Structure 1
Amino acid sequence: MDPYDHDLERGMRNRRALLGDAWVNKSIASANAFTADFQNFITRYAWHEIWGRPGLDAKTRRIIVLAITCALGRWEEFELHLRAALVGGSGASLGAGDDGPTGLTPEEVKEVLMQAAIYAGVPAANTGVSIAVKLLRELGRELPPQPATEVAHTGSGRSFRTASTPALHYTVREPRSKAVPRHTIVLGHALGCDASLWDALANGLAAEHRVICHDHRGHGGSDAPAGPYTMAELADDAERLLAELDAGPVVWIGLSLGGMVGQELTLRHPQRVKALVIANSTSGFDAAGRNAWSERIATIERDGLEAIADATMQRWFSAPFHAAQPATVARWRRRVVSTSVQGYLGACHAVMQHDCTARLPRIGVPTLVLAGALDQGTPVAMSQTIAQAVPGARLVVIGDTAHLSALEQPGPFTAAVHDFIAGLA
């Protein structure tokens, strides 16, 4: 029989990797005739039988331990694991198929405690926060003052309105890394939508970029002046927003109407844009397309937005998406019919009259064009026209998606955007 105790040795390896040699050496040195059995027990059963399982990565297991010890008020154990999480352990491999980082950032610890406040109670989370602050200070982590009134929800950004009129509602997400942002990225939504269209993409980009999402005039929380609007006015709206924020040049990402605004903004105010993503959009409509928009405008003027809502959903999402995610479709239908009729109609006129195909060769910034293979509203051919006219533009066609490709196929959409941004200077 092999005298080597594999369970004990594996457990000790994992214990050292997660808690660090100094703490483990201290625990071993203090063992005595009464505690030795317990030390052996927890090393084999906790640190090998549980921590040695590859079903969850070690970082996730750290989070689980912090949440449970906080919920149960096991503050000595909570502090032990929190200190190890902030320090990151010894950095050694656990040998469980997990060689990734096992430490937690202060931001990640904060999220654990925020969630614990909901599921374990505010008093428990409050104690956890106090312990975390004490440990961060002991470890020399900077904790600059910040008024509670200036905190923004990291999943939706901090809301503002422009000082200039018509007032535009916009949100700002500063980089979660707390570092200087690599880029400032502005996201422009589709007709009948609002800035929340971009929540998933914006939150991902905000890991290292400053992200601004705004509602076009006539949409969401922005003013809805009497129309009709022009694409030049919508582009000038974007320019004055960027001027107020002293932002630019920016990476502009626009879908549908947002893509049209991006084209016009880049042509009218080239100093404001360093790179451009045009998704599910067009540089202009032919006579048949303009007639279709004219008929849509007449229908809305006569019967309201309810009259075009169902047809809009058919264009926005493919049939399989309708079947698989009816709640999402219903949500965006509610967004359309709750839009200001005056604002929607004003923007319809801007879209109908949009025509910048002849000017596209003047766009001199890196450009990515995204198209939906099933898009009926702005078919792939319209994206091909843009990509062929803009010098150096790259076209990516996303399969199995209709008009709102960022919602229907967020994975491929996000991957294409991240790949494009990663290649920017």
Structure 2
Amino acid sequence: MSDRQDDFERGLKNRRSVLGEAWVERSTAGANAFNAEFQDFITRFAWNDVWGRPGLDHPTRRLLVLGMTMGLARWEEFELHCGAAVRASQQPGSGVSLVQIKETLLQGAIYCGVPAANTAFKIFVELLKKEGIAVEPAPLTPARRVATHQTFSLPQLHIALQGAGPGAPVVLAHALGLDVDMWDDLADELAAAGHPVLRYDQRGHGRSAVPAGPYTMDELVDDAARVIREWGVGPVVWVGLSMGGMVGQGLGIRHPELVRGLVLANTTAQYPEAAKAGWQQRIEKVEQGGMTVIADMVVERYLHEAYRREHPAKAAALRAKIQHADPRGYVAACAAVAGVDWLSRLPEIKAPTLVLAGALDAGAPPSMAEAISSRIAGARLVVLDEASHLSVAEQPQQFAALVREFLQRV
């Protein structure tokens, strides 16, 4: 077989991988005396010479094509590639997700124009429906609208506010390496139920400032206190997971006047010495190789194996979030987390407290949750089955129900 024919076969393989067997068969079967040379040309040069290059993977090239065809208003080509991307998003290990497609179109609104984005989103939603993918309604009620700004004092922290009902105000505090997006679904639900909801990116995370580290847990607690004071609607019900739960314990101890109730999920009040050594090793890995070197490990700790297998797109989105975290902020916050030491002071907490643990959580096992709940008067401990560290993602309905029930009691 000649090199030219090899190029054609390699290009045809890439073309089938990206667009699907059925479409490629129809396209090549329709070749005629006028377009056969063109089909040969694009298969060799576009699908082999470009799509076959090693510098970018296929998911990245898919998203680039969506942005380019959107900008050029080549809607037939856009629909072809968008449909292929939507179908690929439903296949485990495809490397492309519906969230990534949505984000590509949102960015296109800035660089290609709102009219182009309007058409692109219309085609995208129609393709979702065609493929039988549920498109849940999300009416733009006041409870769902999110206002964002930065704190006035330094370091500046990114704030997201929604809801304006009569219910108890709620602050949601995220886990290490994540940001406000971690709470999207719960924030919507609580706001719709009449609770003013505040989320913020902790220092070194998301869209907040990244001051020089290492950070201390007291600094993270002081950040939380000034966020609540600047919001001006306290005392609040604090819902914190992992690092957010550590900050919540500190608030209950050092700033009790700001706390109406505490939900402490998948967290600890103190690490044993062996675990502290593990944190130092993690810090050194990130300092030497960046976030990519620990991304898989963090995902495996945050989501248990069965969940990752059943929800590959969500696991991939979490991995991408970890990989894009600022390594400077992550390392600085690791120091604060490793040094958490509230255990002996937990009896000082007087606010009603709900402690949540995941039965499969290796990083903050139920024994750590029991150590917290046993030292806070009246605290309730609930262990969630089929949940590891990121229980709000793995068991969202049960997590939300427990929080709603708690809010009715405080």
Q: Distance in 2 between matches of 1:349 and 1:278?
A: 20
Report the counterpart of residue 219 of structure 2 in structure 1: 233
For residue 394 of structure 2, the aligned residue among 408, 413, 417 is: 408
For residue 179 of structure 2, the aligned residue among 179, 194, 214 is: 194
Q: Distance in 2 between matches of 1:290 and 1:355?
A: 12
1:123-182 per-residue CA deviation (whole Å, 9 max, x = no partner) reads xxxxxxxxxxxxxxxxxxxxxxxxxxxx9985461111001110000111123xxx4x22
Report the counterpart of residue 374 of structure 2 in structure 1: 388
Q: Tell me if structure 1 keeps the 8 A contact 2:237–2:259.
A: yes
Letter in 2 for 1:169: H
Counterparts of 1:2-401 in structure 2, within 5 Å, are 155=144, 157-175=146-164, 179=165, 181-207=166-192, 208-401=194-387
> Where in structure 1 do 4 or more consecutive aligned residues deviate above 2 Å?
151-156
Q: Distance in 2 between matches of 1:340 and 1:306?
A: 11
Query: What secondary structure, in the 3-state scheme, does the structure 2 residue paired with 1:171 have?
Result: strand
1:241-269 per-residue CA deviation (whole Å, 9 max, x = no partner) reads 11112131100000000000000111111
Q: Distance in 2 between matches of 1:200 and 1:154?
A: 12
Q: Distance in 1 between matches of 2:243 and 2:176?
A: 6
Query: What secondary structure, in the 3-state scheme, does the structure 1 residue paired with 2:208 have?
Result: coil
Q: Tell me if structure 1 keeps the 8 A contact 2:248–2:264.
A: yes
Q: CA deviation at 1:302?
A: 1.1
Q: Tell me if structure 2 keeps the 8 A contact 1:156–1:199.
A: no
Provide closer, same or farther for how the CA distance between residues 335 and 155 of structure 1 changes in structure 2, counting only shifts above 3 A. farther
Q: CA deviation at 1:119?
A: 6.8
Provide closer, same or farther for how the CA distance between residues 341 and 278 of structure 1 changes in structure 2, counting only shifts above 3 A. same
Letter in 1 for 2:225: E
Report the counterpart of residue 110 of structure 1 in structure 2: none
Q: Distance in 2 between matches of 1:326 and 1:267?
A: 39
Letter in 2 for 1:256: S
Q: Distance in 1 between matches of 2:145 and 2:279?
A: 33
Q: Tell me if structure 1 keeps the 8 A contact 2:355–2:380.
A: yes
Q: Distance in 2 between matches of 1:174 and 1:306?
A: 36
Report the counterpart of residue 20 of structure 1 in structure 2: none
Q: Distance in 2 between matches of 1:155 and 1:320?
A: 31
1:205-247 per-residue CA deviation (whole Å, 9 max, x = no partner) reads 1021100000000000100111000111001001111111213
Letter in 2 for 1:195: V
Letter in 2 for 1:209: H
Q: Tell me if structure 2 keeps the 8 A contact 1:262–1:276.
A: yes
What TM-score, normalized by structure 2, do the two folds share? Answer: 0.65
Letter in 1 for 2:179: D
Q: Distance in 1 between matches of 2:288 and 2:142?
A: 40
Letter in 1 for 2:184: D
Provide closer, same or farther for how the CA distance between residues 153 and 174 of structure 1 changes in structure 2, counting only shifts above 3 A. closer
Provide closer, same or farther for how the CA distance between residues 306 and 172 of structure 1 changes in structure 2, counting only shifts above 3 A. same
Q: Distance in 1 between matches of 2:378 and 2:169?
A: 22
Q: Distance in 2 between matches of 1:365 and 1:298?
A: 38
| Alignment gaps of 5+ in structure 1 | 1-117, 121-150
Q: CA deviation at 1:386?
A: 0.3
In our comparison, the structure showing a higher alpha carbon Rg is 1
Letter in 1 for 2:152: A
Q: What is the number of residues matched between the two proteins?
A: 274
Letter in 2 for 1:168: L
Q: Distance in 2 between matches of 1:309 and 1:214?
A: 22
Q: Distance in 2 between matches of 1:280 and 1:247?
A: 27
Report the counterpart of residue 73 of structure 1 in structure 2: none
Letter in 2 for 1:397: V
Query: What secondary structure, in the 3-state scheme, does the structure 2 residue paired with 1:225 have?
Result: coil
Letter in 2 for 1:188: A
Q: Distance in 2 between matches of 1:305 and 1:185?
A: 31
Provide closer, same or farther for how the CA distance between residues 153 and 184 of structure 1 changes in structure 2, counting only shifts above 3 A. closer
Q: How big is the alpha-carbon RMSD for the aligned residues of Structure 1 and Structure 2?
A: 1.8
